[in-house]
Homo-oligomer: A and B are copies of this chain.
Amino acid sequence: TLAAPAIAQSMPKINWRMTSSFPKSLDTIYGGAEVLSQRLSEATDGNFSIQVFAAGEIVGGLQAADAVSDGVVEACHTVGYYYFGKDPTWALPAAVPFSLSARGTNAWHYHGGGIDLYNEFLADKNIYALPGGNTGTQMGGWFRKEINTVEDLKGLKFRVGGFAGKVMEKLGVVPQQIAGGDIYPSLEKGTIDGAEWVGPYDDEKLGFFKVAPYYYYPGWWEGGPTVHFMFGKKAYEELPKAYQSLLKSLCQGVDADMLQKYDYKNPTAIRSLVAQGTQLRPFTPEILDACFKAANEVYAEMSASNPAFAKIWESIKAFRSENYTWAQIAEYNYDTFMMMKQNSGEL
């Protein structure tokens, strides 16, 4: 027939490898890549397959984007801020201090030009990136002692990465770069005073509550962090149009799915942590204010010397202001009422 060859051509066999920045034990965040792979395979009757590798199987978790840039693999699942050291612009659409929450950030990615802005920056690195997961606002981490004042931050050895570390340095914190598996022993021995990871569901698995009882919130450096799928730009552009569209559409669903999974799992985990002795503590307004001021200093410094950074940051900042004006009306008042009812035992 005439039809068959055309159809066959539209579903060619493609086998890609995707390196994840995460270990398999983190089923939510590692799981996002598996969900994409499964949905893609199902939708194409197995013709477009992406095999997922955990951090360390092909390259280390922090080399995932390099492996895509260099064409070692066609895809990775990673967080842009891991590459902060190359250029802080990498971090902006992932998570930076006092940026958008998950809903705000997704509005910006999908309808505020965020996806295009990031890809404009990534084009000469052979990367095409799409949002591929969100954790929601993270927790502020685990501390061996209470942090009551800005003064208490001075000299504090705190496990935290890139951008947030740079902001905290201004307040005297000594940021520590420590891989996930090494955090627990460091906290236990007192080599470090505190450590941030993700939120209740992931943190409980790593057992930090046993060695650092104070669990602070909110994680002001990750208000709604985006995990990205990054594809080799050339590999993506060589796909048939149908596969390009499919991949893009599927990523948006997988992106949403990760947040939904965290939102379902975190409530049980926070209860469990508290039942096991975890002490919840809010950062004081004084501490948050000092961190906010320090973050703005860092933004000003980086914007002054880095036009690519300035361009994306201005776009985020403009929408951040719009977003936090509207979000405080219907949504915030509804949530506030419902939380009051929860706390008075009426839900």
Partner of A245, one of B39, B110, B270: B39
Residue on B nearest A291 in the bound complex, by CB: B337
Q: Is A330's CB under 8 angstroms from B263's CB? A: no
> Shortest beta-carbon distance, A160 to chain B, in Å?
16
Partner of A253, one of B200, B223, B250: B250
> Shortest beta-carbon distance, A64 to chain B, in Å?
23
Q: Is B253's CB under 8 angstroms from A330's CB? A: no
Is A186 an interface position by the 8 A CB rule? no
Residue on B nearest A100 in the bound complex, by CB: B338
In Å, the complex CA distance between A109 and B271 comes to 21
Q: Which of A103, A110, A138, A331 has the most chain B CB atoms inside 10 A of its CB? A: A331
Is A305 an interface position by the 8 A CB rule? no
Cβ < 8 Å to B, chain A residues 1-57 = 1, 3-8, 10-11, 39, 42-45, 47
Is A246 an interface position by the 8 A CB rule? yes
Could you tell me how many residues of chain A have their Cβ less than 8 Å away from some Cβ of chain B? 93
Is A257 an interface position by the 8 A CB rule? yes
In Å, the complex CA distance between A42 and B10 comes to 11
In Å, the complex CA distance between A30 and B305 comes to 45
Partner of A45, one of B47, B242, B317: B242
Q: Is A246's CB under 8 angstroms from B43's CB? A: yes
Q: Is B264's CB under 8 angstroms from A45's CB? A: no
What 0/1 readout, one digit per residue, does chain A (215-226) give for beta carbons within 8 Å of chain B?
Answer: 001111001000
Q: Is A328's CB under 8 angstroms from B334's CB? A: no
Chain B residues with CB under 8 Å of A139's CB are 329-330
Is A282 an interface position by the 8 A CB rule? yes
Is A311 an interface position by the 8 A CB rule? no
Interface-forming stretch among A166-174, A175-183, A187-195, A339-347? A339-347
- Knowing A42-B242, A43-B249 are in contact, say whether A220-B327 is a contact too (CB < 8 A): no
Partner of A330, one of B3, B219, B242: B219
Interface-forming stretch among A78-86, A149-157, A318-326? A318-326
Is A119 an interface position by the 8 A CB rule? no
In Å, the complex CA distance between A60 and B257 comes to 33
Q: Is B339's CB under 8 angstroms from A324's CB? A: yes
Q: Is A264's CB under 8 angstroms from B324's CB? A: no
In Å, the complex CA distance between A264 and B251 comes to 19
Is A303 an interface position by the 8 A CB rule? no
Is A147 an interface position by the 8 A CB rule? no
Is A210 an interface position by the 8 A CB rule? no
Task: Name the 5 nearest CB pairs between A and B, nearest first.
Answer: A253-B253, A252-B253, A107-B263, A42-B245, A111-B264
Can you list 7 A-B contacts (CB < 8 A)? A7-B47, A42-B242, A101-B334, A106-B256, A139-B329, A217-B334, A223-B338
| 7 more A-B residue pairs beyond the given contacts A39-B245, A328-B339, with a C-beta to C-beta distance below 8 A | A109-B260, A199-B330, A217-B330, A218-B334, A220-B337, A253-B253, A270-B325
